[in-house]
Amino acid sequence: MKNTENHKGYLFSRRYSYYVFTLLFLLYMFDYIDRMVITSMWPSIGKDLGITHMQEGMLVSAVYWAIVLLTFPVSLLVDRWSRTKTIGIMAIMWSFATALCALTGNYVQLFMARALIGIGEAGYAPGGSAVISGLFPHEKRSRMMGIWNASIPLGTAIGHLLGGVIAVHLGWKHAFGIVAFPGLIVALLFLFLKDYKTVDLAFIDKTKKKIKMEKKDMVREFITRPSVIFTYFGMAAVVFVTTALITWLSTYFQNVQGMPMDKAGMKASVVMVLALMGAPIGGYLTDAWRKKRENARLLYPALSTMATAIVLFIALKLHPGTLQYILLLLMGVLIIGFIAGAAAVTQDVIHPGLRATSYAIAVIVQNLLGSAMAPMIVGLIYDKTNIETALSILPLMLVIGAVLFYFGSRYYQKDMEKVAKIELEAAD
């Protein structure tokens, strides 16, 4: 396949590529606003529905369980049909599901509505990563992945802030209704975007013949890439921590410092929004370092994740106050630094026709072991002890993630040599 545009590695024009990227960024931001608006409203929801902290955590986990169940089949549709149209359809679904949360009357109904959000969001991250990998030159991949993933903390922070403020002034149900519709507008635009042609699943054998991939070849594509396997599990360890903090940091400020719900949500949102700096900085530094060290896309996540573990450990040991909050702010910058390089690796070492599938596996692993488990496990420990004890397990998870990224970096260069060299074509 040949790149039909000659824009220094861009599939389409630079202007159009950045237009699509802007819409991807906005949609990921709205994704996390819809997903996380609930987390600063626990006191209101818990009081109205009479539920435990673990049940509160399950309302976050419900989204991730649905994603785990559906992300793989949806990613196959993304890889074999259309990335942009699939993204648009999914975003329309999750926007309506968020609005449905405003109409629920009990815990079971709210749980099911939250699961519907996850059904809509199941393939967005794989689809978005595949689009970005196709739009931009390889040497810019970590940088663009970093900027794109900065929408996660931004959306999380906005969700935290809006949830607490709206719940205090209008009631928690109104929050779901208000945040549901902006993403719907962007979703409709995706139905009309250009895409690249679906990549033929083939490889060149030792005799230089083009061979069509069978299922066993697709499986072999993944199990023979140790760097990406370590990356999947390293991402899961860090995502366990980020999801736990997104879910419970506001509660920590409310319980430990006696803050009202809206102020605690705002304080937690500032910590999260600082990841806006960490994600693009991580992408820029990773791509810059990669010019000297090819495996920098995993070495940087190993170093930044270990640094995050140390900072968070110290912060949680300190008495609540100004110094602790400064360290938590620093942690907010550092913790997302892994994502640019790690996300790029899931695309780098895999056949171009399986990029969405690769990120889908990352999503399954990180959601099953990280996002879906963290709210419940921390909530369960919180029920039996206190919120300080519940959060104390998080630095250890970061250390595990750093070690996994380091092991992955040892295989990255060899895995890159195995990748089929295929250029993309713009679809008509």
All structural domains of the chain with their residue ranges: 14-195+217-417
How sure is the predictor about 143, in pLDDT bands with cuts at 50, 70 and 90?
confident
Is the predicted pLDDT of residue 1 greater than 50, yes or no? no
Highest mean pLDDT among 19-28, 112-121, 139-148, 393-402: 393-402
Q: Pairing relation of β-strands 210-212 and 202-204?
A: antiparallel
Mean pLDDT of the chain: 84
Token digits for 127? 């689809």
pLDDT of residue 2: 42
SS3 content of the chain, % helix, strand, coil (to 5): 80, 0, 20
How confident is the model at residue 107, as a pLDDT?
92
Angle at 330 between CA 324 and CA 336, to 5 degrees: 130
Global pTM reads 0.74
pLDDT at 7 over 80: no
Amino acid at 320: P
Q: Are 382 and 248 in contact (CB under 8 A)?
A: yes
pLDDT of residue 173: 86
Give the per-residue pLDDT at 357.
81
Rounded mean pLDDT, 148-174: 83
Q: What is the pLDDT of residue 3?
A: 45
| Burial (CB count <10 Å: 0-12, 13-18, 19+), residue 242 | buried
pLDDT given for residue 305 in this prediction: 97
- How do residues 210-251 score in pLDDT, each as one tens digit? 666 667 777 877 888 999 999 999 999 999 999 899 888 888
Q: For the chain, report the end-to-end CA distance as a whole number of angstroms.
A: 14
pLDDT at residue 234 in the model: 97
Give residue 354's pLDDT: 80
In single-letter form, the type of residue at position 8 comes to K
Tens digit of each residue's pLDDT (9 = 90 or more) over 280-333: 898 889 988 988 998 999 999 999 999 999 999 999 999 888 899 999 999 999
Amino acid at 106: N
Task: Please write the tens of the pLDDT for every residue from 8-43.
Answer: 666 677 888 889 899 999 999 998 888 888 877 877
Alpha helices in 38-123 (DSSP H): 42-49, 53-80, 83-101, 107-121
Q: Looking at domain 14-195+217-417, what is its CATH homologous superfamily? A: MFS general substrate transporter like domains (1.20.1250.20)
The percent of residues above 70 in pLDDT, for the chain, comes to 90
Least confident of 116-120, 265-269, 385-389, 396-400: 265-269
Percentage of residues of the chain with pLDDT beyond 90: 28
Query: Residue 428 has what pLDDT?
Result: 52
CA distance 173 to 209: 60
Q: Rounded CA gap, 239 and 257, in Å?
A: 26
205: pLDDT strictly greater than 90: no
Which range among 80-89, 299-308, 333-342, 372-381 shows the weakest confidence by mean pLDDT? 80-89
pLDDT for the residue 405: 98
Q: Mean of the pLDDT values across residues 342-357? A: 83
Alpha helices in 122-214, H assignment, sequence order: 124-135, 141-149, 151-169, 172-180, 182-190
Bridge-partner residues for 426, per DSSP? Answer: 196
